[in-house]
Structure 1
């Protein structure tokens, strides 16, 4: 990798569920998904960042079920060192300055909690939010939380 980023952010949908089905909202881990996850991890295995690689999960990751979420999290953590931010934050210090990296579960999952993710944060510090779905901006506006940067995925087709 020619670039030398201090931090890397991964914003979800590491696999694709076929459809959002029924009341549970789960489609189950598709046949071959484990192999796909391993190929994805292999492709990203050269990522390095001295201040960390942080990730959040996307709607398709959740729709594929708990087994898929566990496989994604364990594979990416074991191989690449990804720190998963599931409604939590980490403080990164450089000199006398701090930046908080905040992560939330996918916006449409019941588990998504911006309030939990922001607990213990210095309100004066720079805050970067990782949220797969940009709809989290609705909660940011209504909560009057000051988030400096929001990094999202969920851009099917690059729109």
Structure 2
């Protein structure tokens, strides 16, 4: 992405700034990263989307009080729409104590935006959910916590949203890696997700793993993802730890390919090790505008 697409030094009121190039981050004290997208396929008034990816809520690294603060800060941004692209619960391999899904969702239910809050599940929401493991993936604690909440779970479906006198579609797919550890494909079904989206309608896709972008699906001009944590280590642009079949191609930021846009949030939490090198946790704010 271009440097002018991202406000790397933006901080919210009341939080003590830290230099972007602070070498290590351990506790989740995220910065605010802004991306601006202008595209002719967006014909509605300007839209702002706040993204909270890869929360991995656990003690002591991203505890519930920290999540409560992040929620308050996100609400204060005044975004039109808030998206949660998966991995709400902790990586079981992380040396910490994961918080239960219902407690995590209870805090996230404090999020508020005019167009609402929507979520999809990430791979760790399946891999590290004890209910999913014990039920043969027939049940999921994150799903069961989200269903009665005000947060819309977009598991291979889309919703139509009205904005500024017009309409657009928000589609979501389930994790592409949900069952990988068991030798099975993911639970994503893009055709089901777009089944009710009219051809040519302005559509945004939320997918936990950014790799789906390589499929070239033109039904959405913008995809919003997480999963990578920005590689969790950024060595002068080289992100060797990026969990992607495409290396660092979709590791972080604003990617443009085939006339489409991909935003990959660096996320909030951690997996594997509670450590980030030159890749701080972030709240991502996407500003979508009419293009020429």
1:8-157 equivalences in 2 (<5 Å): 8-18=82-92, 33=98, 35-65=99-129, 67=131, 70-79=140-149, 81-94=150-163, 96-109=165-178, 110-139=186-215, 141=216, 144-156=217-229, 157=232
Higher Cα radius of gyration: 2
**Cα distance in 2 between the residues matched to 1:66 and 1:145:** 36
**Cα distance in 2 between the residues matched to 1:108 and 1:42:** 26
**Cα distance in 2 between the residues matched to 1:2 and 1:111:** 34
Superposition TM-score, scaled by structure 2 size: 0.44
| Counterpart pick for 1:5 among 79, 88, 98 | 79
Considering fraction of residues, name the structure with more helix: 1
Considering fraction of residues, name the structure with more strand: 2
By how many angstroms is 1:154 displaced?
A: 0.4
**Cα distance in 2 between the residues matched to 1:95 and 1:66:** 43
**Cα distance in 1 between the residues matched to 2:153 and 2:102:** 17
**Cα distance in 1 between the residues matched to 2:109 and 2:143:** 14
**Cα distance in 1 between the residues matched to 2:91 and 2:77:** 32
**Cα distance in 1 between the residues matched to 2:214 and 2:177:** 12
The structure whose RCO (Cα within 8 Å, separation 6+) is larger is: 2
Find the residue that maps to 2:143 and give its secondary structure: helix
Superposition TM-score, scaled by structure 1 size: 0.75
Over the residues paired in the alignment, what is the CA RMSD in angstroms? 2.5
Q: Which residue of 2 aligns with 1:25?
A: none
Q: Deviations over 1:33-71 (max 9, x none)?
A: 4x4434433443321122221100000011124725632
**How many aligned residue pairs are there?**
143
